[in-house]
């Protein structure tokens, strides 16, 4: 479906004053090139200047049959005829003919001019390009400047080469010096006379790179763009992708021919081909083989070929077009760069392929997946079409019409990854196209476009004698065919006269004609009138403004009309395409000019234009947001990204969506969707009390179930608590009691400073149910979570109250939020710091998290933090300092004691028995003892790594026994048993047996007799009256006697005369051995 809008895309038109009847026209580089009918002369006119003055004129070497201009290199390429022969020629430096320079150089492809021709300065060159076959069509790449020549069954690719003129002069000088030494002085003089500007001009040349053989398709038109090659036959279009590859092919691979012999039509009857559309990889399944013949001499790389698109059409005989009229035309490959790309340095982000039948046009996207973007249905037969940056221009016999295009929609999605999210939006590529107001002309024949200039060639519609004769022959042939087919149907018993559809079918000429068309009409030598028009299109901003004015008609009659949304979407894409073009011009500033096109504005003017376009885009987004905010449920989500792109504040959006008093409709689903997302996304902007109350009213009328979430949103901090409480109570009466609703009502009581009522509401539910309520609506406790660990968070009024009155509930709620991925650990720490509870509640939170968490990374982080806190408390407290007693009294008691943690958390281990000997409970304060027990319990547990807390333990002195116990624990965890035994015997020998019984087991049992027994023997020998050591020695001997054989025990008895002391234990060992 094609929408039609009465918007005028044309601003003015002027007639180009040409002397002779034009036969061919083309444009490029700011110029219009006109070839006179049957002539051998090209005239160039400036389309950028008022009146289109003549730039220059120059003669060609033959009659021009086709002409193309290349933006890259600013050269012209022509197909010419002379003496019944066809030639391909390129014209470079043609602009120098404007300076009345008669010098013209003629050379062959690859033979650069040297000697006097070079020293004479820059001049126009005619490059003869020899071909083995007759050229049919040519195309120039708008990205690289390469040249593609289409012959009947082959395509020849020529690569554009550049060589600096100074280099050529140096090479010429070297040749002259080696050949004629006496000419050295004169050559150097002539070289010095050459201007510096001429020396810097590049000399263009072409190199034949590759030949593509297509035996089953007859090329009528070709196109080339960034490695994409398109060829158009009468009813077929094939797009290929050529890629240069550095991997050489084997001789066997390169000689493999995929061509098949082309079967000529043996019968005089037409075989109708079936309709086909093959996209992407499926295109290789078409029945058109292609083979590569590489011809480049300098380029040693290989080319790889891939099929991209194949489309074959079957003519529809009921569309008012005869067989010879049903043919493809207007093949184009168009690149599109994003605003971040440099046109001269990068590949285009998008490449589009356009081709057309007389009744329909097709636009495909080729990069990133082949896709049909748009299909254009023309109201009447179209002669030619040109795809431009913003519009598609088509001509019929009597009118110029414009259609919108979808290129910008695809480019926007490539450029911005946030398109089609809740952040940004863009109308879809599949949006139906629209036609704008047409401009009437008489006898239009061809069209070409340069920037905002549309060039039209019109000729009076007169019929030559040759055309009259051809029409008479065609009518006779049609009568013969009709009589033949009627006889066939009557022979089988079918009377065509009784079937109107069959009679209409037989009236069409399709039997006696092969599936070819007559050659294009020759340019007439007799004509009664002709004109070349340069029609200027309005600026995109002006056309956008007209579209907006036009859309107001729909907005006044039906604000939810589909046509209103469609027209605003068209305006949006128009602005996006303009911004893409503006960005490309900014990126190419400062780069060497590829062709001397006129620049109509300076940097400041371009910046102003871009600012105006961006402001218009914001206004358009606001209008689209209004459409989708009131639209259907299907597309209501698009209101959010469009309102965001409009830069409107939420206050402005609310004002735009207030229902009119006379309107029966309430707030639209799109507006509610936007408002919910705004309130859910923790916007920093706070609403005033009036605005917040209006939001409450909106949701109480439209979606009462969202009231709890709305009240908990950060922008609603200025809400009126009394008014909101009444609305919440009505909701409770209708919807019933719920935990989040009760907590929200309690928060309103806090805002009203009614603590008793707050307490009464909070006591309605058990603490566990309240925790579930926090999980359901986390913003009751904090504002700003959910956006990652670096998102700023802050506590709510309820959180501050819970920290004072119910710290256990607050800690449980924070743990539940973390375990349900509602908050990050760093964010929870920030909340407790905001509350001023980093030394108490925050530690309680870490201890509770250690019990609840199952993530190893979180567990290790918490173990390190808790160890640091316990060590810090031990280092900063002392049982002998009165001031510290005062500090510890002021600190709140922890929610969990050491025994609670040992019993409920597996990361806290039971204290080793020997620790009670080293750190009795009555020797320190309760807070100090609590920190000590918790740290000892962590060191006794299975999870804490001693290496991670080792540097922190250096803060604690070993002088007190509790400090010694911690260092001894660390040494024992590291496996330093020998050193630990020595230290323990030095500091607290009464604990050695308890230590040995617990630590020296299993593989460490040998330390009883290898380390502990010798140490005790030596120490008791030095202090024989030490009862503690003697008791320890006796206990040690009991253990050794039970573990060793008599012979091994005998070897342990010292030979210092004390053997009698060991004999009872030796006897016990012997008896145990006998019993065993």
Confidence of residue 583 (pLDDT cuts 50, 70, 90): low
Work out the average pLDDT over 518-543. Answer: 70
Work out the average pLDDT over 76-90. Answer: 92
pLDDT at 1059: 77
pLDDT at 550: 87
Q: Which two tokens stand for residue 1001?
A: 């087991």
Q: How far apart are CA 866 and CA 790, in angstroms?
A: 22
Q: What is the residue whose two structure tokens read 């009589």? A: 483
| 1009-1047 tens-digit pLDDT | 888 888 888 888 888 778 888 888 889 888 888 888 888
Question: HSE-up of 394 (CA within 13 Å, CB side)?
Answer: 30
| 672-725 tens-digit pLDDT | 999 999 888 756 678 899 999 999 999 998 899 999 999 999 899 999 999 999
Work out the average pLDDT over 588-607. Answer: 53
Work out the average pLDDT over 114-142. Answer: 80
Confidence of residue 303 (pLDDT cuts 50, 70, 90): confident
- Give the strand pairing for 434-435 and 3-4: parallel
pLDDT at 302: 77
Counting residues of the chain whose pLDDT is more than 90, the rounded percentage is 46
Work out the average pLDDT over 942-962. Answer: 89
Q: How far apart are CA 455 and CA 449, in angstroms?
A: 6
| 478-491 tens-digit pLDDT | 666 667 767 666 76
| 54-64 tens-digit pLDDT | 999 888 888 99
Provide the edge-to-edge strand list for the sheet that holds 228-232: 221-225, 228-232, 236-245, 302-312, 276-279
In sequence order, what are the beta bridge partners of 277? 311
**Which strand (E) or helix (H) includes residue 273?**
none
Q: Which two tokens stand for residue 323?
A: 């067989």
pLDDT at 471: 59
Q: How far apart are CA 382 and CA 399, in angstroms?
A: 9
pLDDT at 251: 38
| 444-481 tens-digit pLDDT | 999 999 989 999 999 875 554 445 455 555 666 666 66
Q: How far apart are CA 337 and CA 143, in angstroms?
A: 10
pLDDT at 186: 42
| 896-912 tens-digit pLDDT | 999 999 999 999 999 99
pLDDT at 891: 59
Q: Which two tokens stand for residue 15?
A: 């007639």
Q: Is the pLDDT of residue 288 over 50?
A: yes
The set of residues, in sequence order, having a beta carbon less than 8 Å from that of 401 and lying 6+ positions away, is 393, 394, 395, 435, 436, 438, 439
Counting residues of the chain whose pLDDT is more than 70, the rounded percentage is 78
Enter the pTM of the model: 0.77
Q: How far apart are CA 169 and CA 629, in angstroms?
A: 69
Give backbone dihedrals phi and psi of 614, rounded to 5 degrees, phi first. Answer: -65, -40
Q: How far apart are CA 79 and CA 82, in angstroms?
A: 10
Work out the average pLDDT over 272-300. Answer: 81
Work out the average pLDDT over 128-152. Answer: 93
Q: How far apart are CA 819 and CA 825, in angstroms?
A: 10
Confidence of residue 243 (pLDDT cuts 50, 70, 90): confident
**8-state DSSP, 1010:** I
**DSSP calls for 698-728:** HHHHH-GGGHHHHHTSGGGTT--HHHHHHHH
Q: How far apart are CA 859 and CA 944, in angstroms?
A: 9
Q: Is the pLDDT of residue 115 over 90?
A: no
In this predicted model, which residue has the larger pLDDT, 1071 or 593?
A: 1071
In this predicted model, which residue has the larger pLDDT, 115 or 707?
A: 707
């Amino acid at each position: 479906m094609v929408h039609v809008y009465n918007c005028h895309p044309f601003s003015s038109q002027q007639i180009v004053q040409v002397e002779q009847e034009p036969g061919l026209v083309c444009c490029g580089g700011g110029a219009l090139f006109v070839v006179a009918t049957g002539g051998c002369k090209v005239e160039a006119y400036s389309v950028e200047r008022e009146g289109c003055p003549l730039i220059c004129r120059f003669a060609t070497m033959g009659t021009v049959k086709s002409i193309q201009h290349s933006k890259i290199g600013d050269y012209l390429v022509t197909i010419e005829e002379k003496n019944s022969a066809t030639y391909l020629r390129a014209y470079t430096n043609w602009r120098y003919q404007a300076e009345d320079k008669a010098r013209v150089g003629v050379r062959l492809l690859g033979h650069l001019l040297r000697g006097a021709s070079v020293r004479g300065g820059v001049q126009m060159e005619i490059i003869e390009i020899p071909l083995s076959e007759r050229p049919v069509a040519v195309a120039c790449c708008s990205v690289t400047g390469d040249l593609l020549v289409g012959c009947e069954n082959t395509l020849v690719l020529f690569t554009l080469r550049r060589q600096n003129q100074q280099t050529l002069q140096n090479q010429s000088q070297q040749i002259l010096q080696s050949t004629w030494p006496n000419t050295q002085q004169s050559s150097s003089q002539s070289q010095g006379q050459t201007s510096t500007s001429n020396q810097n001009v590049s000399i263009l040349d072409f190199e034949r790179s590759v030949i593509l053989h297509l035996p089953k398709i007859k090329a009528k038109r070709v196109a080339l763009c960034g490695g994409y090659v398109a060829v158009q036959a009468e009813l077929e279009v094939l797009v290929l992708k050529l890629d240069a590859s550095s991997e050489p092919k084997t001789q066997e691979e390169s000689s493999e021919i995929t061509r098949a012999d082309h079967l000529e039509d043996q019968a005089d009857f037409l075989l109708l081909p079936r309709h086909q559309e093959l996209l992407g990889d499926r295109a290789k399944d078409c029945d058109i083989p292609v083979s590569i013949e590489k011809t480049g001499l300098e380029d040693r790389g290989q080319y790889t070929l891939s099929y991209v698109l194949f489309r074959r059409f079957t003519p529809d005989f009921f569309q008012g077009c005869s067989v010879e009229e049903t043919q493809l035309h207007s093949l184009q490959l168009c690149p599109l760069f994003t605003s971040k790309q440099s046109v001269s340095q990068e590949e285009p982000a998008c490449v589009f392929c356009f081709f057309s039948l007389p009744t329909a046009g097709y636009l495909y996207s080729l990069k990133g997946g082949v896709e049909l973007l748009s299909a254009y249905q023309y109201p009447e037969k179209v002669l030619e079409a040109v795809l431009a940056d913003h519009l598609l221009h088509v001509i019929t016999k009597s009118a110029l019409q414009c259609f919108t295009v979808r290129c910008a929609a695809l480019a926007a999605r490539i450029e911005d990854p946030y398109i089609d999210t809740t952040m940004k939006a863009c109308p879809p590529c599949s949006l139906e196209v629209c036609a704008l107001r047409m401009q009437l002309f008489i006898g239009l024949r061809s069209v070409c476009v340069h920037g905002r200039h549309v060039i039209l060639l019109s000729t009076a519609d007169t019929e030559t004698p040759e055309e009259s004769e051809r029409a008479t022959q065609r009518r006779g042939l049609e009568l013969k065919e009709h009589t033949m087919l009627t006889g066939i149907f009557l022979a089988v018993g079918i009377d065509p006269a009784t079937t109107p559809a069959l009679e209409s079918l037989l009236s069409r000429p399709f039997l006696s004609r092969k599936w070819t068309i007559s050659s294009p009409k020759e340019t007439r030598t007799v004509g009664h009138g002709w004109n070349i028009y340069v029609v200027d299109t309005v600026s995109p901003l002006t056309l956008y403004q007209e579209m907006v004015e036009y859309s107001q008609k729909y907005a006044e009659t039906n604000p939810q009309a589909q046509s209103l949304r469609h027209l605003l979407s068209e305006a949006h894409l128009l602005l996006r395409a303009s911004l893409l073009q503006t960005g490309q011009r900014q990126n190419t500033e400062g780069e060497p000019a590829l062709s001397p096109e006129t620049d109509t504005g300076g940097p400041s003017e371009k910046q102003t234009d871009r600012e105006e376009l961006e402001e218009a885009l914001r206004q358009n987004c606001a209008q689209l947001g209004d459409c989708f905010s009131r639209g259907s449920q299907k597309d209501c989500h698009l209101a959010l990204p469009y309102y965001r792109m409009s830069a409107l504040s939420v206050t402005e959006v609310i004002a735009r969506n207030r229902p009119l008093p006379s309107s029966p409709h309430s707030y639209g689903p799109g507006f509610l969707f936007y408002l919910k997302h705004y309130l859910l996304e923790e916007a920093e902007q706070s609403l005033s009390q009036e605005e917040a109350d209006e939001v409450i009213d909106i949701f109480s009328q439209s979606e009462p179930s969202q009231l709890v979430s709305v009240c908990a949103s950060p922008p609603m901090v200025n809400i009126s608590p009394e008014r909101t409480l009444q609305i919440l109570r009505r909701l409770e009466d209708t919807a019933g009691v719920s935990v989040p609703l009760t907590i929200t009502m309690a928060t309103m009581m806090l805002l009203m400073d009614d603590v008793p009522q707050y307490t009464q509401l909070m006591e309605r539910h058990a603490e566990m149910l309240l925790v579930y309520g926090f999980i359901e609506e986390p913003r009751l406790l904090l504002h700003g979570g959910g956006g990652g660990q670096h998102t700023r968070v802050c506590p709510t009024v309820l959180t501050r109250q819970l920290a004072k009155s119910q710290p256990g509930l607050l800690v449980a709620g924070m743990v539940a939020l973390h375990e349900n991925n509602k908050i990050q650990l760093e964010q929870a720490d920030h909340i407790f710091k905001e509350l001023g509870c980093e030394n108490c509640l925050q530690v309680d939170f870490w201890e509770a998290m250690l019990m609840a968490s199952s993530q190893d990374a979180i567990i290790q982080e918490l173990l390190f933090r808790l160890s640091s806190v316990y060590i810090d408390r031990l280092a900063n407290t002392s049982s002998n300092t009165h001031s510290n007693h005062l500090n510890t009294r002021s600190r709140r008691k922890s929610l969990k004691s050491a025994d609670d943690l040992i019993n409920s958390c597996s990361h806290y281990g039971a204290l080793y028995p020997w620790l009670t000997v080293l750190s009795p409970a009555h020797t320190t304060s309760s807070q100090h003892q609590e920190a000590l027990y918790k740290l000892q319990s962590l060191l006794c547990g299975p999870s804490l790594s001693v290496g991670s807390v080792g540097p922190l333990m250096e803060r604690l002195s070993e002088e007190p026994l509790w400090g010694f116990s911690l260092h001894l624990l660390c040494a024992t965890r590291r496996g330093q048993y020998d050193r630990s035994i020595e230290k323990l015997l030095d500091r607290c020998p009464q604990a050695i047996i308890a230590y040995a019984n617990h630590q020296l087991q299993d593989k460490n049992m040998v330390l009883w007799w290898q380390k502990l027994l010798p140490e005790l023997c030596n120490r008791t020998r030095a202090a024989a009256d030490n009862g503690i050591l003697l008791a320890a020695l006796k206990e040690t001997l009991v253990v050794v006697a039970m573990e060793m054989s008599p012979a091994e025990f005998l070897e342990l008895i010292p030979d210092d005369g004390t053997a009698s002391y060991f004999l009872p234990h030796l006897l016990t060992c012997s008896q145990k051995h006998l019993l065993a």
